């Protein structure tokens, strides 16, 4: 499959923030959000805020409100979103389920989807098998050859299937603005899950259906999502939608090299704000971490716009210094 992306020199992009309302926003989330905003707005683009709240067990309204509050405090704005509306709403995935059903039906009509009855234990066994990553795909199509009768028998026994997309015979190539062209072989792709056995639509399908429907042309996100990109590029291709340009940005990590997570509560934007850290101090430090400033200095997000260049971003994880919250308070 040829690499396909909107050229970085093209028309003003449509970028997006797409957080999940399953917790508070920490500096690592803010770092990716700031860079997504800079990449879009430095080219005169429009920014979309979308809440990826597909999982009802983890998504909460108070987390959604916190995300809106945190990004606004940081000085980031959006042109479309759940609070301001826009031409491509609604901007909550939980209100867009019909789009994912339609996308799955289009794929199924082409014979590209099959039910998968593998349990979580089965999948864990595949993932932990010796040389599993070298010998074949993440999911090798165990259920791909089941007959309709075999599927019916499993469902009659109370087993609920997930839905999987058949792996293509050709690899997937795409362009990352920082890394250039990347390629993944069919063996590396595996048969992508597009709906879970509990009937919740999988992230891979939902994000592609949404980006296509919302005319998103630029996706900026953390390096931890790089492995998802080839699968999403494949889905864009199969659904006949233009592939956005991608930029995967480095992660912020702690002193042990672990990416920031909920356990780093002191580095959440809410905790920093409550501790007296000024938004300009946080923004200035993030700009320094991105290689846009020679040293940490208070600034606004818009001050970084003329400095933004994907080529200036670090090529690996950025380690946070110890006592960062205290440093940010002194910088405020």
Q: Retrieve residue 322's tokens.
A: 């110890």
Q: What pLDDT is attached to residue 156?
A: 95
Residues 6 or more apart in contact with residue 152 via CB below 8 angstroms: none
Beta-sheet pairing, 193-195 with 252-253? unpaired
Q: What pLDDT is attached to residue 132?
A: 32
Residue ranges and CATH numbers for the domains of the chain are 14-93+250-331 (3.40.50.620)
Q: What are phi and psi of 234, to 5 degrees?
A: -60, -45
In this prediction, the residues of the chain whose per-residue pLDDT falls under 70 are: 1-9, 124-137, 186-187
Q: What pLDDT is attached to residue 5?
A: 46
The residue from 124, 160, 199, 262 that is catalytic is: 262
- Check: CB of residue 49 under 8 Å from CB of residue 20: no
Rounded CA-CA distance 47/297 in Å is 26
Concerning whether 121 is annotated as a catalytic residue, the answer is no
pLDDT tens digit string along 115-158? 999 987 777 665 443 333 333 347 878 899 999 999 999 999 99
Q: What pLDDT is attached to residue 154?
A: 95
Three-state SS for the chain is CCCCCCCCCCCCCEEEECCCCCCCCEHHHHHHHHHHHHHHHCCCCEEEECECCCCCCCCCHHHHHHHHHHHHHCCCCCCEECCCECCCCCCEHHHCHHHHHHHHHHHHHCCCEEEECCCHHHHHHHHHCCCHHHHCCCCCCCCCCCCHHHHHHHHHCCCCCEEEECCCCCCEEEEECCCEEEEECHHHHCCCEEECCCCCECHHHHHHHHHHHCCCCEEEEEHHHHHHHHHHHHHHHHCCCCCCEEEEECCEECCCCCECCCCCHHHEHHHHHHCCCCHHHHHHHHHHHCCCCCCCCCCCHHHHHHHCCHHHCCCCCEECCCCHHHHHHHHC
Q: What are phi and psi of 195, to 5 degrees?
A: -150, 135
Q: Report, in angstroms and rounded to the nearest whole number, the Rg of the chain calculated over CA atoms.
A: 21
- The owner of tokens 């380690």 is 319
Q: What are phi and psi of 190, to 5 degrees?
A: 75, 175
Q: Retrieve residue 29's tokens.
A: 């989330």
């Amino acid at each position: 499959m040829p690499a396909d992306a909107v050229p970085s020199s093209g028309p003003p992009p449509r970028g997006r923030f797409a957080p999940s309302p399953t917790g508070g926003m920490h500096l690592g989330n803010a770092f990716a959000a700031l860079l997504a905003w800079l990449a879009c707005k430095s080219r005169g683009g429009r920014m979309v805020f979308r809440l990826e709240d597909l999982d009802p067990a983890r998504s909460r309204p108070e987390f959604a409100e916190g995300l809106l509050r945190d990004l606004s405090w940081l000085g980031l704005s959006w042109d479309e979103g759940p609070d301001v509306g826009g031409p491509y709403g609604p901007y909550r995935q939980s209100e867009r389920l019909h789009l994912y059903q339609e996308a799955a039906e289009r794929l199924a009509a082409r014979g590209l989807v099959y039910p998968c009855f593998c349990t979580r234990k089965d999948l864990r066994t595949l993932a932990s098998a010796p040389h599993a990553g070298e010998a074949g795909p993440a999911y090798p199509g165990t259920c791909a050859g089941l007959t309709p009768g075999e599927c019916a028998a499993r469902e009659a026994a109370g087993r609920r299937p997930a839905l999987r997309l058949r792996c293509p015979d050709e690899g997937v190539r795409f362009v990352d603005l920082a890394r250039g062209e990347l390629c993944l072989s069919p063996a590396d792709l595996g048969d992508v899950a597009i709906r879970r056995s509990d009937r919740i639509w999988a992230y891979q399908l939902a994000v592609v259906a949404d980006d296509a429907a919302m005319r998103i042309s630029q996706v900026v996100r953390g390096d931890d999502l790089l492995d998802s990109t080839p699968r999403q590029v494949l889905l864009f291709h199969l659904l006949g939608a233009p592939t956005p340009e991608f930029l995967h940005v480095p992660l912020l990590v702690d002193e042990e090299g672990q990416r920031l997570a909920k356990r780093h509560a002191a580095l959440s934007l809410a905790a920093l704000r409550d501790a007296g850290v000024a938004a300009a101090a946080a923004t200035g430090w993030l700009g320094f971490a991105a290689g846009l400033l020679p040293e940490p200095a208070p600034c606004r997000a818009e001050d970084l716009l003329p400095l933004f260049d994907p080529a200036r971003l670090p090529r690996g994880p950025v380690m946070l210094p110890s006592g960062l919250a205290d440093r940010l308070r002194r910088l405020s």
